[in-house]
Amino acid sequence: MDRNRASARLTVLLRHLGCRSAGTIVSFGYTRENNVLSLEQRKFYEENGFLVIKNLVSDADIQRFRNEFQRICRKEVKPLGLSVMRDVTITKSEYVPSEKVVSKVQDFQEDEELFRYCTLPEILKYVECFTGPNIMAMHTMLINKPPDSGKKTSRHPLHQDLHYFPFRPSNSIVCAWTAMEHIDRNNGCLVVLPGTHKGPLQPHDYPQWEGGVNIMFHGIQDYDKNNARVHLVMEKGDTVFFHPLLIHGSGRNKSQGFRKAISCHFADANCHYIDVEGTSQENIEKEVVDIVRKKHGFKDVTLKILKYVECFTGPNIMAIHTMLINKPPDSGKKTSRHPLHQDLHYFPFRPSNSIVCAWTAMEHIDRNDGCLAVLPGTHKGPLKPHDYPQWEGGVNIMFHGIQDYDKNNARVHLVMEKGDTIFFHPLLIHGSGRNKSQGFRKVHIHITALFEDECMRKKSHVVSSTTCPGSMLEVSLGTVTCQKPLEVSFSPSGVIFRTGASSHLTGKILKSLTGQLLSSEDVEEIFMQESDALNFLKKRSKRSPRFQDEVNVENRQKLWADELRREYHEEQRNEFENFVEEQNDEQGERSREAVEQWRQWHYDGLYPSYLYNRHHI
């Protein structure tokens, strides 16, 4: 009897939950099992592709984000890797450091204050419902939509965010978009097409708008215009979570103020990168590469070395440890040599078969200046105990060596030319001899990068900054963590790998940068120009001859400095002109008020008011 009553109550409960019987199972494809979303909320997201959570972020946090954004606009802080964008209608002559000329900042993962948004427990609590517990912050933005100038350039065409992301699966990606003030149709709220997340990724390109389009504002070229549109009117702190395939955009800002919102795209750490060559995303890939070329003056930004790295680690690559060594001439105490060792001794992550070192010679290297010596086949053995060797002349800090190894093993001395690259296993026993030449072995190890695949992301370990043994340079060791994917950051001297990425420079865009095989003439383009490498840490006497390449490099640096100086003075001049114009306007207003007060004081009640204005008959 009690069992029948319990069964009846269960049937009623399941009916209230939308199930016809106890055997009916509700399946969800876009959300994960969780105790945060209600059944109605999960069904709504499954059907429509978005979900608005009211008053999720506090006013205090939003004010902190606003203050930090203003500091960035005033150039009081310059976070590493941050991209500042301006509306297409703002000309360079109008540039004055303020929030009135900045329409968006993105990739603020290095700004601790703004990145707090991506770590807010109230945000991550909901993100986990869509991505699962292993979360990565992939792309960050703070949007400052300006008042429309009349050309309608403040609007954003209808698009799908997945167009910008070369990683999959799409159902493991979600965007959190938080309003920083009241947002409605008047100041350009989000507009979404419910249910379009169930469709495929559509081709995107720039829309043909008369007033112009902001850079990278791609839109869908062909979509069903009969789809219903929903305009999301939101209050400060409201947050919308939406699928990357959901078609959405925003209208123009018809108000007189700036409309602010902050957002981050999150993804499951188990997402994988794809090759977008031959797909509809190929155009955005080419655009990103072209922007990098123009901005940094590269002839070729192909990172061909990754083509080989992928053979050892798989497609999910992370740069873990970078090193640049300038082996000095030996002083006679043989301290410039490096004892035989295994790189895995320095790395607290596994498996070793998913790690590889890329070692590039920046000039001719042989036994005279201390080339690499390797013991072939030793990578098949275990990790051996390491410690400082007992050398009379002393040992550089952290130059640990193997205490016990088979000295009968054959040694191979790797004589290499400039641009040659060796890839070796972290268990391979290797070292280098002393530098018997009179010069520095300049950039001996051009880069030592250990790359990991997704199976290594199970362990998180932080390694602090240290000084690389014998390199005379500070080496920055990365964080072995699944929180941030690989980033390719660009500088005037080359391309650097580091953790913490913008999605625009990861995945297939990364793959695009790896298009062909590595050749010796391309290595200097990857990391540092040849003329720069020749002079790195070199103590030149006044009588030493200068090569033409060195002169060209110095001239380019001077031109770059002149350009920065010119832009600075132009900004100062514009700022001063604006100040003078404001002062003149204020002075004119004060003069007008003074004259008006004088006239009112001397008014005699007659018409016309002033004797000197009367017409004499």
Query: What per-residue confidence (pLDDT) applies to 313?
Result: 81
Tell me, rounded to whole angstroms, the distance of Cα 578 from its chain centroid. 34
Burial class (CB in 10 A: 0-12, 13-18, 19+), 205: middle
Q: Where are the domains of the chain?
A: 1-30, 41-273, 299-539, 546-617
Two domains, one topology: 41-273 and 299-539: yes
- Count CA within 13 A, CB hemisphere, residue 421: 25
Give the Cβ contact number of residue 408 at 10 Å.
Answer: 5
Q: Measured between alpha carbons, how far is 362 from 444 in angstroms, rounded to an integer?
A: 6
**CA dist., res. 352 & res. 311, Å (int):** 14
Rounded Cα–Cα distance for residues 446 and 325 (Å):
7
How far apart CA 360 and CA 518 sit, in angstroms, is: 11
CB atoms within 10 A of CB 482: 19
d(CA 99, CA 72): 9
**Mean per-residue pLDDT, 578-596:** 88
- Please enumerate in sequence order all residues whose Cβ is within 8 A of that of 109, keeping only pairs 6 or more positions apart, or say none: 81, 115, 118, 137, 140, 484, 500, 501, 502
Instruction: For 386-444, write each residue's pLDDT tens digit.
Output: 999 988 888 888 899 998 878 788 899 999 888 788 889 999 999 998 888 888 876 44
- With bands split at pLDDT 50, 70 and 90, how would you rate the model's confidence at 516? very low
The DSSP-derived string for 25-69 is ----SSS---SSS-HHHHHHHHHHSEEEETT-S-HHHHHHHHHHH
Q: Which amino acid is at 512?
A: S
Can you list the alpha helix ranges (DSSP code H) found in 297-436? 305-313
In degrees to the nearest 10, what's the CA dihedral of 354, 360, 366, 367?
-40
Angle in degrees, CA 397, 400, 405, rounded to 5: 160
Give the residues across from 85 on adjacent strands. 104
| 124, containing H or E segment | helix 121-131
Residue 261 pLDDT? 97
Residue indicated by tokens 């007033």: 211
pLDDT surpassing 90 at residue 538: no
Q: Quick check: 21 pLDDT over 80? A: no
pLDDT at 171: 96
How confident is the model at residue 62, as a pLDDT? 97
The values of phi and psi at residue 350, to 5°, are -140, 165
Q: Count Cα atoms within 13 angstroms, Cβ side, for 426.
A: 24
Average pLDDT, the chain: 77
Q: Which residue has the tokens 């001719």?
A: 364
- Tokens 């053995």 correspond to what residue? 381
Q: Reply yes or no on whether the pLDDT at 491 is more than 50.
A: no
Dist CA 551 CA 12 (whole Å): 85
- In this structure, what DSSP letter does residue 9 have? H
- Distance from C-alpha of 318 to C-alpha of 364, rounded to nearest angstrom: 29
Parallel/antiparallel/unpaired status of strands 474-475 and 466-467:
antiparallel
Mean pLDDT of 132-160: 91
* pLDDT of 504 strictly over 50: no
Distance of CA 267 to CAs 139, 196, 571, Å?
10, 20, 40
CATH superfamily of 41-273: q2cbj1_9rhob like domain (2.60.120.620)
Q: If you count DSSP H runs as helices and E runs as strands, how many of each does the chain have, helices first?
A: 11, 29
H-helix or E-strand spanning residue 480: strand 479-480
Q: How far apart are CA 205 and CA 219, in angstroms?
A: 5
pLDDT tens-place string over residues 542-559: 444 566 777 787 888 888
Structure tokens at 473: 């340079």
* Lowest pLDDT segment from 56-60, 95-99, 380-384: 95-99
% of the chain surpassing 70 pLDDT: 72
Cα–Cα dist 557/19, whole Å: 70
Instruction: Residue 199: name the closest of 250, 243, 240 by CA.
Output: 243
Q: Select from 1.10.1060, 2.60.120, 3.40.50, 2.60.40 the CATH code of 299-539.
A: 2.60.120
User: CB atoms < 10 A from the CB of 315, how many?
Assistant: 16
Q: How confident is the model at residue 211 (pLDDT cuts 50, 70, 90)?
A: confident
Enumerate the β-bridge partners of residue 386.
402
Bridge partners (DSSP) listed for residue 499: 486
The CA distance from 12 to 323, in Å, is 66
Q: Where are the beta strands (DSSP E) in 109-189?
A: 135-145, 156-159, 167-168, 173-179
- Asked if 138 and 503 count as a contact pair (C-beta separation under 8 A), the reply is yes
- The predicted model gives 266-274 an average pLDDT of 91
Q: Say if strands 219-220 and 204-205 run parallel, antiparallel, or are unpaired.
A: antiparallel
Phi/psi of residue 253, nearest 5 degrees: -90, 105
How do residues 213-239 score in pLDDT, each as one tens digit?
Answer: 888 899 998 878 788 999 999 999 999
How confident is the model at residue 181, as a pLDDT? 97
pLDDT of residue 539: 43
